[in-house]
Copies of this chain bind each other. A is one copy, B any other.
Amino acid sequence: MPSSTVENYLKRIYLEEQAAPGAAVVSMKNLAGVMGVTPGTATSMAKSLADSRFVAYEPYGGVKLTARGRTLALRILRRHRLIECFLVDALGLDWSEVHEEAESLEHAISDKLLDRIDEFLGFPSVDPHGDPIPNAKGAIRQAALTPLTEAEEGAEVRVARILDQDEDFLRFVDRHHLRPGTRARVLVNDRAAEALTIQTGKLPAVTMGRTAAAKIMVEGPRP
């Protein structure tokens, strides 16, 4: 039974691999950064993950999940995201605050309880942030989405996923009614100014910078 530390490393490695689909491996510096540990710790953990065959690791070559490691990472991610759904749907917690809570519960919940929750929720396919939930077999299916920065001016889009779990950012998104599921119109997308203006229904339009817009994934004008 892998410790929750190991589970966290694998989850982060998976997320880093997803975040930078170009890079084949995750560097020690990167890993140490996202895990909040020193590079030396990342190295020794990389070795021990490799010993357990969760990652491929070559000295100076970074880490890369093996099939076995990815399976476990997806299992944790599934737990995390189902728990988020549950906290929001069943207990009415705010979607901006469930991430932290799920972060600890994901290591403590049994498979049995998780399945019960999955059933209770009606087998959801995405969590409250729009992140896809791996199924019990570890398969993950996500519709092709584009960052808001790519949207044409005048386009009608549907917010599908928010890529940042930071509470402040989520509250900003919430305040302007840009939660996943919302339809909105892109009024301005000024690439030179790196600013974008978007409007939901009859609400006042919001203008945000490029980096903020890049964290909001949308479905195009029509598929």
Q: Mark A63-101, 1 if CB is under 8 A from B, else 0.
A: 000000000000000000000000100111100010011
Q: Does A107 contact B (CB under 8 A)?
A: yes
Q: Does A23 contact B (CB under 8 A)?
A: no
Q: Does A104 contact B (CB under 8 A)?
A: yes
Contact A104 B93 (CB under 8 A): no
What B residues does A90 contact at CB under 8 A?
90
Cα–Cα, bound, A109→B113 (Å): 15
Q: Can you list 6 A-B pairs with a CB-CB distance of less than 8 A?
A: A91-B120, A93-B113, A104-B108, A104-B109, A105-B105, A105-B108
Cα–Cα, bound, A113→B97 (Å): 10
Contact B116 A109 (CB under 8 A): no
Q: Does A214 contact B (CB under 8 A)?
A: no
For chain A, which range describes its interface: under 10, 10 to 19, 20 to 34, or 35 or more residues?
A: 10 to 19
Cα–Cα, bound, A112→B97 (Å): 10
9 further A-B contacts with Cβ under 8 Å, apart from A93-B113, A101-B112, are A87-B113, A90-B90, A91-B113, A91-B116, A91-B120, A104-B108, A104-B109, A104-B110, A108-B108
Contact B110 A108 (CB under 8 A): no
Q: Does A25 contact B (CB under 8 A)?
A: no
Partner pick for A105 among B93, B109, B112, B117, CB 8 A cutoff: B109
Q: Closest B-chain residue to A113, C-beta based?
A: B101
Contact A101 B110 (CB under 8 A): yes
Interface residues of A in 94-148 (CB under 8 A from B): 97, 100-101, 104-105, 107-110, 112-113, 116-117, 120
What B residues does A117 contact at CB under 8 A?
91
Q: Closest B-chain residue to A110, C-beta based?
A: B101
What B residues does A116 contact at CB under 8 A?
91-93
Cα–Cα, bound, A97→B112 (Å): 10
What B residues does A100 contact at CB under 8 A?
110
Q: Closest B-chain residue to A87, C-beta based?
A: B113
Closest beta carbon of chain B to A220's beta carbon, Å = 37
